[in-house]
Structure 1
Amino acid sequence: MFTGIVQGVARIVALTDRPGLRSFRLQFPAGFARDLAIGASVACDGVCLTVTALHGEDQADFDVMLQSLNLTTLGRFQVGDALNVERAAKDGAEIGGHPLSGHVDFTATLQSIRQPENNYVLRFAVPEPWMRYVFAKGYIALNGASLTVADADRRAGWFEVWLIPETLRMTTFGTLQPGQPLNVEIERATQVFVDTVRDALDERLGPLLPALEALLAQQGQSTDALLAPLPRTSR
């Protein structure tokens, strides 16, 4: 498990591609790999990877299987590229973000960047099936960082996050450009809530559900509007 609090930025110093498998060697910030063991888990841009070899206290190797390469951004990286990294949380660790599994659900595309004074606003386009799990004031993980959704528009298929200078300093977000994909892990509690309510609606309404969906569509709404959890306070 991870907390979504990025601990540093690592760089790819070596990369080997084989059929169905890609191997990375990462250069970590000084001391990051101290006491790290072979078999340990490290979140790399939000993807849980297993240490396969260690090289001193600052480098480690990882293998990425084909399924992960197809689902995430890891297949796009080249030597010299940077990734957000976080070591697995220890028992009793403070959860400064929200619990993450390191299992990416989909990739979102960066649409635009706005820079109000002392702030940095990123807007992302989301594939339609996943937008139902994104709510304003809810949590979401982008490239391994736990963030609060500032605003979301389900009909248009986008959401925004606002970043403070410290987040930009500790992550790769300040180097992103529009058009780039990011790894997204939705909050599991939100997914369970939404799917449970959707199943309950389908079970109770049965043949009436299409009529309800048509009525809501006439008003520019959808059944997803009925599923929004109660808003949480901002972090």
Structure 2
Amino acid sequence: MFTGIVEETGEIVDVHDGPEGRRIRVAASFCEDLEHGQSIAVSGACLTVEDWNADDFELFCSEETLERTYLDEVEVGDAVNLERALPADGRFDGHFVQGHVDGVGEVTEIEQVGDDWYFGFSLPEELARYVVEKGSICVDGISLTVADLRDDDGDFVVAIIPATYDLTTLSGKAVGDPVHLEVDVVAKYVERLTEGYV
């Protein structure tokens, strides 16, 4: 379980593609605190620590993960958002995030308004029913609130405060770049529970 509150950005320092999947090494400041088997959200995708040292850690991306994310496209030098799993006694500051990427969207617009930023993202048709204005959505591991839902265009807009812009990979995004999307799991459970009643 995660909250969508990014701890820091890490840097991809090694990528190895093999017949079973892809191994990625990520440099981060908290590596000395890691343990084997810990879960880390890497730009919103929940992955498992397999190896680590004082400077970086290694993750394995299965074919399933690569098919559902854009992690098959990351390269050495790329930045990724990082969040370790929420401890049982930790603060819950974002929203329920599982680290299960539902789909990949694209940045459709970026606009700075004063100190804030407005980002537009495309929304895959199969996810649109789970997204509502003022509802929660996770974009590249960041817990965000939908400011505007544009059904005609098939995209949505979020407002980004300076702290979020500076502390995440959003500051390096450009129009056309891919992003991981995870919709609010509560919406999916409600849909499942109410099937047959409508």
Question: What TM-score do the two structures reach when normalised by structure 1?
Answer: 0.81
Match of 1:181 among 166, 178, 196: 178
Give the equivalent residue in structure 1 for 2:7.
7
Using CA pairs under 8 Å that are at least 6 residues apart, name the structure with larger relative contact order, 1 or 2.
2
Deviation at residue 92 of structure 1 after TM alignment: 1.9
Report the Cα distance in structure 2 between the residues aligned to 1:12 and 1:45, rounded to whole angstroms: 12
- Verify: 1:167 aligned to 2:164, yes or no: yes
Q: Which runs of 5+ in 1 are unaligned?
A: 202-235
Q: Which runs of 5+ in 2 are unaligned?
A: none
Give the equivalent residue in structure 1 for 2:51.
53
Give the counterpart letter for 1:75 in structure 2: D
Match of 2:127 among 127, 130, 144: 130
User: Segments of 4+ in structure 1 off by > 6 A?
Assistant: none
Deviation at residue 197 of structure 1 after TM alignment: 4.3
Give the equivalent residue in structure 2 for 1:102.
99
Cα pair 2:111 2:117 within 8 Å, conserved? yes
Work out the number of aligned pairs and report it. 198
Deviation at residue 33 of structure 1 after TM alignment: 2.0
Matched position secondary structure for 2:130: coil
- Verify: 1:145 aligned to 2:137, yes or no: no
Give the equivalent residue in structure 1 for 2:19.
19
1:48-96 CA-to-partner distances (Å, cap 9, x unmatched) read 111110112x311111001100110101100010000001110021110
Report the Cα distance in structure 2 between the residues aligned to 1:139 and 1:24, rounded to whole angstroms: 29
Report the Cα distance in structure 2 between the residues aligned to 1:176 and 1:188, rounded to whole angstroms: 26
Report the Cα distance in structure 2 between the residues aligned to 1:137 and 1:34, rounded to whole angstroms: 38
Matched position secondary structure for 1:150: strand
1:140-160 CA-to-partner distances (Å, cap 9, x unmatched) read 000111011101022321100
Report the Cα distance in structure 2 between the residues aligned to 1:119 and 1:4, rounded to whole angstroms: 19
Cα pair 1:39 1:52 within 8 Å, conserved? yes
Report the Cα distance in structure 2 between the residues aligned to 1:133 and 1:155, rounded to whole angstroms: 16
Q: Which structure is higher in strand share?
A: 2
Report the Cα distance in structure 2 between the residues aligned to 1:42 and 1:125, rounded to whole angstroms: 25
Deviation at residue 35 of structure 1 after TM alignment: 2.1
Give the counterpart letter for 2:130 in structure 1: Y
Match of 1:118 among 109, 115, 119: 115
Matched position secondary structure for 1:189: helix
Deviation at residue 126 of structure 1 after TM alignment: 1.0
Report the Cα distance in structure 1 between the residues aligned to 2:158 and 2:191, rounded to whole angstroms: 21
Give the equivalent residue in structure 2 for 1:154.
151
Q: Which structure is higher in helix share?
A: 1
Note the aligned Cα RMSD (angstroms).
1.2
Give the equivalent residue in structure 2 for 1:43.
41
Give the counterpart letter for 2:49 in structure 1: V
Question: What TM-score do the two structures reach when normalised by structure 2?
Answer: 0.96
